Amino acid sequence: MGTIISGDRVKQIAAKIEHKLINTLGTTLEEAANDEIYKATAGCIRDDIMTKWAESRKKSGAQGVKKLYYMSAEFLMGRALSNNLINMEMYKDYRQALWKLGIDFDEIVEEETDAGLGNGGLGRLAACFLDSMATLNFPVIGCGIRYEFGLFKQKIMDGMQVEMEDDWLREGNIWEVERPELSVEVHFNGYIEEHWTEKGLKIIHKDYNTVVAVPYDMPVIGYKSDTPATLRLWSARSKQRFDLHSFNEGIYDKAMADQAFAEVISKVLYPADDHMQGKMLRLKQFYFLASATMQLMVKHHKEKKGDLHTLSDYVTVQINDTHPTLAVPELMRILMDEEGFGWEEAYAIVRKIFNYTNHTIMTEALECWDENMFKLLLPRIYQIICVMNEKYCDKLRIYYGEHHEKISKMSMIGNNQVRMANLCIAVCHRVNGVSQLHGDILKQQLFHDSYNLYPQKYIAITNGITHRRWMALANPQLCQLIKDHTTGDVLKDYRIFEQILLFKNDVSFQHKYQQIKQQNKKRFAKYIKKKQGIVINTDSIFDVQCKRMHEYKRQLMKCLHIIYLYQQLKKQPDYLSTPITFIFAAKAAPGYARAKDIIRLIHSVKDMIDADPVIREKIQVVFVENYSVSVAENLIPAADISEQISTAGMEASGTGNMKFMMNGALTIGTMDGANVEIFEQVGAENIFIFGASVEEVGNMKRYHTYNPGTVFEKNPKIRDICNCLIDGELPKIGKQKYSDIYQSLLFGEYGQPDQYFVLYDLPSYIETYDKVYNTYVNHYDEWIQKAIVNTAKSGFFSSDRTVAEYNDKIWKLSTIK
């Protein structure tokens, strides 16, 4: 097909789609609904991918290359159809083929469900990595859970978040292949018996509950690559699907009980865990993922190589955050209990295979499990961790002697908890942070005592994003502009971005660049009007903060800044000459009350502004409902200002900051996470930095010097902003006002001042934002130059660079040729 000229290829694609409609779906082009046309189109693409996928697996087996198992509880993939077409270099052909058939390509793309199998950066990073690993021809299997329902669909009703089920599999998933022949059993509960035999100690697990793990595989195509990655998602099923005897006896609940016990495991991503049943379900989920993956990994190696002593030569495992940590003791269990390895022999293999990526320094996110619950649900795994911990603590005592507090802090089990992060850092071959700053924090703060013992373990690899999705797909006009002014293929070689630095002062290039931004703003305006009925001014500045709703990300500080602007405009209606549209997009975890209150507050501020006919012409607040990958693809290219305002030292990296800079938004941010490296790449003149540094925040915590009451008393502007939360001017949404937010800002909680330092950084933010605004309004040519520099320097943040670095420092994979 590659030799066919473009016109003929378009005709062939159109014919294939019609043929697929008739022969697979039993309908004609004239009768087909849009979802049927989507399935037919996707089916044609899938056919081509499946051929590559099968041939790649055959090559991988023949070459005997080392394989990566990338384990993650989240894979936030985004829509596959258009991204696959970009990577197969067939996007324009399919677009023209559908046009030839009288069909709007964009409408067909909208038919694909945007699966919410992630909560934000963690799952999106995993998706970018699979794209890059496929592009670089590395052999990889991404391993996760096939959640029947994603995170949740967010509806905003009367200014408040309401969660609805995300039934992403309702219409099926055309890209996946069920692999029932690869199913394995996962065992829960029961008790352990030990018997000595001639061959040594025999471990027997009795009276356990069985869940069958069924893999569904999906190819993830790379750009100009013949080596698709495999995304393997595990679905939970009952071993006994249906108890016919009980059903015929009329005992219907009993007939379905075994099925319900099993299938709830892969039902929902992150079930609420503010009760014991929710916590237990999460633990089941993570062990289910760990056990199924390790069992199949060992089985595959035995079939191909026979000798499990060589396992570490042919596999490496990356644990993406702590959720898959139980893969470590599970592999120990398999090697010892099922394969007859001794402890030291098994442990020597395990410690070579596993590597751990830490994604947070927030203590509440460093996963710990109730020890009694853990012992009840996973009795054999608990035994193994106890022995691992005992041997580990023996080593710690050699180094730290009688420093019992340090040893207790580093222990895998303590205070009636089983600690996943401590298990990872004790056993894993490499432990990495996801930005250079984050890597330093792991070494100097979070895991400092471990770092003193094993400094060679700790490295930092800065996160990245795939520029195929986040530029070529999300911003095709910008991609074309770059292609027109560079030599080489920018989608294959991220270093080519730098070439457009030559054009930052070129008036013609600047004009084209600015036009593209304006067209993207119009595209988003059209989208938000269609989806939510909101009309926005495309001549306004688009100031965007889109990310997971969390106090450390400080959407609250942005909200306070908007209140400040409102108050200034009340006093001085011409305070702003160019209007600003403030756009928020975020989901709050269902059990996170404060995050939900901040969403309420955003809508109260919006209502307050909308009620004033003068001010609403100058500022507008928009909250984008049900934020997702496809929404981000629409929104990020339209942004002028990128809000990256987390408390310094709390954002491990961030990847939204990279997507915004790539698409020409300028960052206002703290020196936190990857903002530090963006600053280093673009230079101080092309980013707007404010607020306390990591060192300042650390010193305020250490010496208890932060007093928000003093900031409040000494700064009338800050006092007015805070008082707005309680003086009744804000329209009331829901039953509660905002006195609890007011109290937390001024007095903190649990005897500690606000740990996010909102009022401390707010004056600096207001001052810096004035510079941002002045640059945009009064020096727009300079603004465009800065934006071009940001795009030019964004190549460094390609996940192709990140993955190559992981491979060089950790995985040591060979490419499939």
Question: Catalytic site residues?
Answer: 359, 547-548, 553, 655, 659
Buried b (16+ CB within 10 A) or exposed e, 21-55: beeebeeebeebeeebbbbbbbbbbbeebeebbee
Structure-token match 């340090």, residue found: 406
Amino acid at 723: N
Contact at 8 Å (CB) between 209 and 190?
A: yes
Question: What φ, ψ does residue 192 adopt, rounded to 5°?
Answer: -110, 135
Q: What is the largest CA-CA distance in the chain?
A: 90
Contact at 8 Å (CB) between 342 and 381?
A: no
Contacts of 367 (CB under 8 A, 6+ apart): 322, 323, 325, 419, 420, 421
Contact at 8 Å (CB) between 632 and 638?
A: no
Buried b (16+ CB within 10 A) or exposed e, 270-297: bbeeeeeeebbbbbbbbbbbbbbbbbbb
Q: Can you read off the two tokens belonging to residue 487?
A: 């030599």
User: What is the signed CA dihedral for 640, 646, 651, 653, rounded to 10 degrees?
Assistant: 20
Q: Can you read off the two tokens belonging to residue 215?
A: 């893999």
- Decide: helix, strand or coil at residue 664: coil
Contacts of 384 (CB under 8 A, 6+ apart): 329, 332, 333, 336
- Residue 638 DSSP class: G
Contact at 8 Å (CB) between 122 and 367?
A: no
Q: How many CA atoms lie within 13 A of 802 on its CB side?
A: 32
d(CA 72, CA 170): 24
Task: Give Cα 588 to chain centroid, integer Å.
Answer: 15
